[in-house]
Every structure is written in structure tokens, then in C-alpha cells.
Chains A and B, each alone.
Chain A
Amino acid sequence: MEQTNFQLKKQDAQSHEWDVRLHRATRATREDWLGRGISYLCIGVIILVVASMLWFITSKGIATFTQNHVSLWKFLSGTNWAPDQGNIGALPMIVGSFAVTFAAAIVATPFAVGTAIFMTEISPNKGRKVLQPVIELLVGIPSVVYGFIGLAVVVPFMRHLVGGSGFGIISATFVLFVMVLPTITTMTVDSLRAVPRHYKEASLALGATRWQTVSRVILRSATPGILTAVIFGMARAFGEALAVQMVIGNAAIMPKNLISPASTLTSQLTTGIGDTIDGTLPNNALWSLALILLLMSLFFNALVRFIAKRGQLKNGR
């Protein structure tokens, strides 16, 4: 009796041990937990960075309105920027930023689309061998070098051509045009390549010339993609700081024409933020400019998404 009891107990213990072993995670599972943990941690760091960036800049940017009690409307519509005297009208910078952005996009788009058509439709071979490296090199040139060339070449040229100092919106447009050109071109090439081949074949089979095919079929069906490309270019132009700051003249006054010194949000930020004291109105006002930059960047992002969605719907139908 006692012996059987003992045996039973032993059996029990054994099965219990097996139970534990079978339910214990294997090495592979534990490895997987570790890997999962590491990769979750890394993505968490990125999310944390984005969240804190949005939070810090927003809370700093709205201090002008919550602590210094400047009215939002006065900030956005005022034309007098003299933070030391308490005048913080940001309109000159806002107008400056939008002016250079739109001007650069308007000049760059025909060049970018033309280059993209050449690369995809006219001579794909030369496109790959010559233009692809050209575009990559243009992307690779750092923005300070663009700024330096603007300062050394474009500004004297404009001074010579139209008089005045040579600094101004038009010089900034020239520099930004070259800077956004590769962005718009690359993305336009992608969207032209994504046009189904049979569209082109059908059009050519109907007897359309190459230009008719390109302008009425290929460009038409690639329009959402090209729009996205232009918006990406505009986002880059809007946020570009140093190259613009070097050639625009940095005068915080309403731009009356294209050839007099003006300033943009980014140029005002780069020149000003080091000279102001944390927590004062001039400093807060600059952070409000940074907030506008941030919001515009989010807006461009949303716009791209919106167009992508619209484009999808059209193709799905």
C-alpha cells in the first residue's frame, strides 16, 4: 500500500515536471520575445521623438498667445515685425515663404516634367545613363553649397541685371528651383513609369503621335502622381533654411516686389533664435514662426495623402 503510494507520488512528480517543461517557452520563443522587445523598443523611440517634437514646438509656439496675450489674428495679419518693441506681425515672413515656394514650384515643374518625359518616353537609355546620375548629384549637393553659389553667382547677376542689392525673392526662387528640381523630377518619373503600358500602346496604335500620347494619355493618367511630386517639392522649398537665408536679404518687411530684400519664416528663425533670450516675447514669437513651419509641413503631408486617396478611388472605378 505504502509502496504504491510512493510510486504514484513519483509518477505524479514526473508528470508534473513534464508538464512544466512542455509549458515552458522554448529557446526559439524566448529569442522571439527578445527580438520583438528590441524592435518594439526602437520603434517606440521614434514615436517618442515625433510626439515630443510635436509637443515641445507646439507648446513653445503657442506661448506667444497664451503667455504674452498677443492675438492670433494680429500675429498672422500684422505687417510690422519688431519683436524688441513688442510688434510681432508675421505676415511679411509668411508672404515671403509662400512667394518663394510657389515661384520655385512654378519654375521647376515644367523643367521636372520635361526631364521626366525625356527619361521615360523619349530616351530611357540616356535617361538611365546620364540623367539619373545628374539628378542624384543635384540631390547630393548640400544646401549651404547652393546658398554659396546663389550668393556668389545669382545675387551679383541679379544686381547687374535689375539693379538694387540683388538680394530678394527672385534670387531665392532661382536657388530653390535647382534644389526642388531633383525632388519633383524623381517622383514624376516614378508616376510616369506607373502608367500602364497598354494605355500608351493603345494610343500609339490609334495613330497618335508621341506628343499626343504623352500629353493626352500619359500625363493625364499620371496627374495625381505629378501633383504629389510638386507638393513634395513645395514642402522642401518651404522648409529650406540656409540656402534661402543666404540670398533673400533677411529684411522683415512686406515684400513690395521680387527684387528687394525680404525674408521667410526659416530665414528669420535661423538669424534670430540665437540672439533672443528663452521665455521672452521675441523668443516666443520666433517659436510661433517655427510652429507655422511645423503646421505647414503637416498640411503638405495631409495634402499628399488626400491626393493619393483620390487617385486610388479613380483607378479603382
Chain B
Amino acid sequence: MGAKRTDFIATVIINLIVAAVVGILIFLLAYILIAGLPHVSWSFLTGTTDAFSGAGGIGVQLFNSFYLLVLTMLISIPISLGAGIYLAEYAKDNWRTSLIRSAIEVLSSLPSVVVGLFGFLLFVVKFKIGFSVISGAIALTFFNLPLLTRNIEESLSAVPRNQREAGLSLGLSKWKTEIGIILPVALPGIVTGIVLSAGRVFGEAAALIYTAGQSAPVTNFADWNPMDAASPLNPFRPAETLAVHIWKVNTEGLASNASQLSAAASAVLIIAVLLFNLGARVLGNFLYRRVTASK
């Protein structure tokens, strides 16, 4: 009977552990939403921040987060697509490839604060660009590249071999086969990966503190010329994102309602990330159905 009893006890303990894990998540989400949502209003979402105390709305930060996200994706998708195609199609199984793979692994395991410091050293100290959107976007690209590359490579390699052979036997070049036949089939997986990584980039702060900076100068939202200093699209202005804002309000903020402010900002951030996760799933399924013509 001893063994059965131990089995029972172990099962109970494991169930308790699982309940605790689920409980932690429910607590986290409930806490943020309950503490934060009451303070989220239209004026909070679009208002400007008081530069000294950090109180006020998060309009500029929200825009900065999306702008940085778009720029980061514009830079990192083409590069990781090329690198993914290289690894899936052209790379031979030799020491050079394994060196490249380890380099990518190293890049993906580097702490994001180290990536951010490298960006700071390169763009702010060496190139003297200063805290700017473009420095932040490139730092985020460094942080994003290895994951995206691996995701694209896996999606491409998962496409059955015979599709490749079919393309080649029709006299298409390897490149045409990859772009015209393999890529569309792998697209659902790639898009899911891209949207998930967008969620990660959206919430990243450590890599941005010293690259995109910690100030959000009020911009003129009527001016869409990227070359103007006051334009929101100007890539050389400092741009505090929502995630950095939460950090800043909590660590150095002088606002009397810092806790409410960051709860509200966290709620917005969490909802955005949840939407990205949900979007990845829905979009991936939708594309999968379109491409494979299955119900």
C-alpha cells in the first residue's frame, strides 16, 4: 500500500503546484487590471507627461512604443529573413555553420541590458547620435534578430522536402524556389513568430534606457515631416517608450500618484502584449487556412 499512498500524495502535491502557478498568473493579471484600468482614460492615453514629476498622460510614450516597434521590425525582418533562408537552404553541415549557429545562440542568450549597453556605446558614445529613436530601434534589432532568425529558419525547414524538389525539378533556381514556393507555405509560422516577437519588443525596456533615452519631448502631432525636429517621426529625437516610462516613474518619479500612474501604464502595456499574443494566434491560423486551403 506504501507505493499507492506515495502516488496519491505526489499527485496531490503536483495538483497544488499547478494550482499555485495558475493562481499566480490570475493574481498578476487581476492585480494589474484592477489597480490600473480605473485610471485609464482617454485623456490618460493621449495626454502629455509632465517632464519634471513624470505625472500626466502617456500619449507620447504610447506613440514612441509603436514607432520604435515599426522601425525595429522594418530593420530586423529583412535581415532575419535572409539569415533564416541562409541557414535553412544554403548552409552546409560543417564547422562554419555550427560557428554561425553558436554566434546566434550567444546573441540570443545575452542579457538585454548588455545589448542595450552595446547600443549605448556604439551609437550614443562612439557615433554621437545621442539618445534617439534610431539608436533604440537598432538596439532592439540586435535583441530581436536571433529569435526571429531561428523562428524563420524553423518555419522554412518544416516545409516538406518534396515541395523543394518539385520547384527545383521545374528548373527554378534555389532562390526562386525558396521565395516563390517555400516561403508562402512557411508564412503562417513566420507571421506568428513575428507578432510574438513584436510583443516582446513592445515590452522591452532594459535595452532602451540608454539608447532611446528616458525623456519624451512633446512632439507636434500635426507635423509629419521626418526631418523636422519637432515631428513625431523624426528618428533622431529621444523617445521614452511606455515600458521605460513605467520603470522611470517607479524608480525616480516624483509624481505623488506614481503607483496609480504605473498601474495604469502597466495595464495598457499588458493589454497591448495580450493583443499581440492573441493576434499572433488568430493571424497564424487564418494564414494557415488560406495557404493550405483546409478548413
> Do B11 and A122 have beta carbons less than 8 Å apart?
yes
Given A34-B175, A212-B7, A297:B113 Cβ within 8 A: no
Given A56-B121, A298-B106, A42:B247 Cβ within 8 A: no
Residues of chain B contacted by A124 (CB below 8 angstroms): none
A260 vs B243: C-alpha distance when bound (angstroms) = 27
| Contact for B114 among A117, A145, A214, A294, CB less than 8 A | A294
Residues of chain B contacted by A298 (CB below 8 angstroms): 106
Q: Write the nearest CB–CB distance from A71 to chain B, whole angstroms.
A: 24
Asked if A153 CB lies within 8 Å of chain B CBs, one says: yes
A137 vs B117: C-alpha distance when bound (angstroms) = 28
> Do A293 and B103 have beta carbons less than 8 Å apart?
no
Given A39-B85, A43-B82, A301-B109, A141:B28 Cβ within 8 A: yes
Asked if B10 CB lies within 8 Å of chain A CBs, one says: yes
Asked if B205 CB lies within 8 Å of chain A CBs, one says: yes
> Do A294 and B110 have beta carbons less than 8 Å apart?
yes
How many pairs of A and B residues are in contact by the CB < 8 Å rule?
A: 249
Q: DSSP majority for the A interface?
A: helix
Q: Write the nearest CB–CB distance from B57 to chain A, whole angstroms.
A: 18
B-facing residues in A214-246 (Cβ within 8 Å): 214-215, 235, 238-242, 245-246
Q: Write the nearest CB–CB distance from B132 to chain A, whole angstroms.
A: 15
**Which stretch from B15-23, B42-50, B219-227, B283-291 is at the chain A interface?**
B15-23
> Do A149 and B31 have beta carbons less than 8 Å apart?
yes
Q: Write the nearest CB–CB distance from A125 to chain B, whole angstroms.
A: 13
> Do B29 and A144 have beta carbons less than 8 Å apart?
no
> Could you give, for residues 143-157 of chain B, a 1 whenever the CB lies within 8 Å of some chain A CB and a 0 otherwise?
001100100000000
A-facing residues in B79-93 (Cβ within 8 Å): 79-83, 85-87, 89-90
> Do B112 and A241 have beta carbons less than 8 Å apart?
yes
B-facing residues in A197-211 (Cβ within 8 Å): 208-211
Residues of chain A contacted by B13 (CB below 8 angstroms): 114
> Do B176 and A31 have beta carbons less than 8 Å apart?
yes
Residues of chain B contacted by A39 (CB below 8 angstroms): 82-83, 85-86, 89-90
Given A144-B243, A246-B247, A32:B22 Cβ within 8 A: no
A179 vs B43: C-alpha distance when bound (angstroms) = 32
Interface residues on B, range: 35 or more
Residues of chain B contacted by A122 (CB below 8 angstroms): 11, 14-15
Asked if B173 CB lies within 8 Å of chain A CBs, one says: yes
> Do B107 and A49 have beta carbons less than 8 Å apart?
yes
Q: Write the nearest CB–CB distance from A27 to chain B, whole angstroms.
A: 8
> Do B273 and A140 have beta carbons less than 8 Å apart?
yes
Name B201's closest neighbour in chain A (CB-CB). Answer: A142
> Do B4 and A209 have beta carbons less than 8 Å apart?
yes
Asked if B165 CB lies within 8 Å of chain A CBs, one says: no
Q: Write the nearest CB–CB distance from B238 to chain A, whole angstroms.
A: 13
| Contact for B263 among A27, A136, A152, A278, CB less than 8 A | A152
Residues of chain A contacted by B243 (CB below 8 angstroms): 142, 144
Name A185's closest neighbour in chain B (CB-CB). Answer: B21
Residues of chain A contacted by B206 (CB below 8 angstroms): 143, 241-242, 266, 270
Name B276's closest neighbour in chain A (CB-CB). Answer: A140
Asked if B172 CB lies within 8 Å of chain A CBs, one says: yes
Residues of chain A contacted by B117 (CB below 8 angstroms): 57, 269, 273, 287, 290
A31 vs B171: C-alpha distance when bound (angstroms) = 12
> Do A50 and B103 have beta carbons less than 8 Å apart?
yes
| Contact for A35 among B104, B174, B250, B269, CB less than 8 A | B174
B-facing residues in A274-317 (Cβ within 8 Å): 274, 278, 287, 290, 293-294, 297-298, 300-301
> Could you give, for residues 144-169 of chain A, a 1 whenever the CB lies within 8 Å of some chain B CB and a 0 otherwise?
11011101110000000000000000
Given A32-B173, A212-B3, A246-B247, A143:B203 Cβ within 8 A: yes
Name B104's closest neighbour in chain A (CB-CB). Answer: A46
A-facing residues in B237-282 (Cβ within 8 Å): 243-244, 246-247, 250-251, 259, 262-263, 266, 269-270, 273-274, 276-277
Asked if B188 CB lies within 8 Å of chain A CBs, one says: no
Q: Write the nearest CB–CB distance from A129 to chain B, whole angstroms.
A: 12
Residues of chain B contacted by A143 (CB below 8 angstroms): 203, 205-206
> Could you give, for residues 169-198 of chain A, a 1 whenever the CB lies within 8 Å of some chain B CB and a 0 otherwise?
000000000100100010000000000000
A148 vs B111: C-alpha distance when bound (angstroms) = 20
> Do A137 and B114 have beta carbons less than 8 Å apart?
no
A42 vs B86: C-alpha distance when bound (angstroms) = 8
Asked if A28 CB lies within 8 Å of chain B CBs, one says: yes
Q: Which of B7, B24, B113, B176 has the most chain A CB within a 10 Å cutoff? A: B113
- Taking A212-B3, A274-B210 as known contacts, 9 extra A-B pairs with beta carbons closer than 8 A to each other, sorted by chain A number, are A28-B172, A35-B178, A46-B104, A57-B117, A118-B15, A147-B247, A235-B109, A239-B114, A242-B206
List 8 A-B residue pairs with CB atoms under 8 Å apart, sorted by A's residue number.
A31-B176, A43-B87, A56-B121, A137-B29, A210-B7, A241-B112, A269-B113, A290-B113
Q: Which residues of A contact B (CB under 8 A)?
A: 27-29, 31-32, 34-36, 38-43, 45-47, 49-54, 56-57, 60, 110-111, 114-115, 117-118, 122, 130-131, 134, 136-138, 140-145, 147-149, 151-153, 178, 181, 185, 208-212, 214-215, 235, 238-242, 245-246, 266, 269-270, 273-274, 278, 287, 290, 293-294, 297-298, 300-301
Q: Which residues of B contact A (CB under 8 A)?
A: 3-4, 6-7, 10-11, 13-15, 17-18, 20-22, 24-25, 28-29, 31-32, 35, 78-83, 85-87, 89-90, 100, 102-107, 109-115, 117-118, 120-122, 125, 142, 145-146, 149, 171-176, 178-179, 199-200, 202-206, 209-210, 243-244, 246-247, 250-251, 259, 262-263, 266, 269-270, 273-274, 276-277
